[in-house]
A and B are shown apart, each in its own frame.
Chain A
Amino acid sequence: DAGVTQSPTHLIKTRGQQVTLRCSPKSGHDTVSWYQQALGQGPQFIFQYYEEEERQRGNFPDRFSGHQFPNYSSELNVNALLLGDSALYLCASSFPPLNAEAFFGQGTRLTVV
């Protein structure tokens, strides 16, 4: 059983560019959450998708957007990249959507130069 898979593992982008990160949830999971983890910090919740809709959102600007597909996989898009967006981006899946343990992927390390 494949766990949560994320792609790519590493990415280098230039300020102002746009980036798309991808996540496939653990088999049987229908909820995907995205987090940003800066060095030395805990994960910061970006948003959660369930049934192809954004169910809950953290305190992140509109430059951060997402999508969930019918097969429950998800994308995180970040527009107009800033240097401060450099971080590890973690995806987690769970079932049911609330009050449940989340299984994390290995993350995508984004570096903005």
Chain B
Amino acid sequence: EDKVVQSPLSLVVHEGDTVTLNCSYEVTNFRSLLWYKQEKKAPTFLFMLTSSGIEKKSGRLSSILDKKELFSILNITATQTGDSAVYLCAADQFYFGTGTSLTVIP
């Protein structure tokens, strides 16, 4: 059965901390791993990863994919209260994890 598992389920950190969110997958005919941020309703796109070992960066956020070990991580450095959200990872748009709920406290 195809599945995506995220950990931790929830995380509470202080502003300025660095966090690492994990995503493992077991998906047949895997093509890409996507990360989304969901604050209220509509998930917003963060990264799409297709190649192993190549880090993608956007400001304080970065992500990398390991296709051999079937996982990805999302790093957020110098966290801000505006980073508080649920972070979702998905394999090929079709298989989503449960998400990691991140709360950043001032």
Contacts and interface: CB of A to CB of B under 8 A. Distances in A.
Interface stretch (A11-19, A62-70, A71-79, A95-103): A95-103
Given A42-B88, A99-B32, A101-B48, A106 B42 contact: yes
B44 interface: yes
Contact of B92 (A42, A44, A99): A99
Interface stretch (B12-20, B67-75, B95-103): B95-103
A45 B97 CA distance: 11
Given A45-B93, A99-B31, A107 B98 contact: no
A107 to B, nearest CB: 5
Interface residues of B, number: 23
Interface in A32-73: 33, 35, 40-45, 48, 56, 58
B44 A104 contact: yes
B34 interface: yes
A105 B32 CA distance: 21
Given A40-B98, A42-B4, A100-B48, 20 more contacts: A42-B88, A42-B90, A42-B96, A43-B96, A44-B96, A45-B93, A45-B96, A56-B94, A90-B41, A92-B93, A98-B31, A99-B32, A102-B45, A103-B45, A104-B43, A104-B44, A105-B42, A106-B41, A106-B42, A107-B42
Interface of B: 4, 6, 31-32, 34, 36, 41-45, 48, 50, 88, 90, 92-99
16 contacts: A41-B98, A41-B99, A42-B98, A44-B96, A45-B93, A58-B94, A90-B41, A90-B42, A94-B93, A98-B31, A98-B92, A100-B93, A101-B45, A102-B93, A103-B45, A107-B41
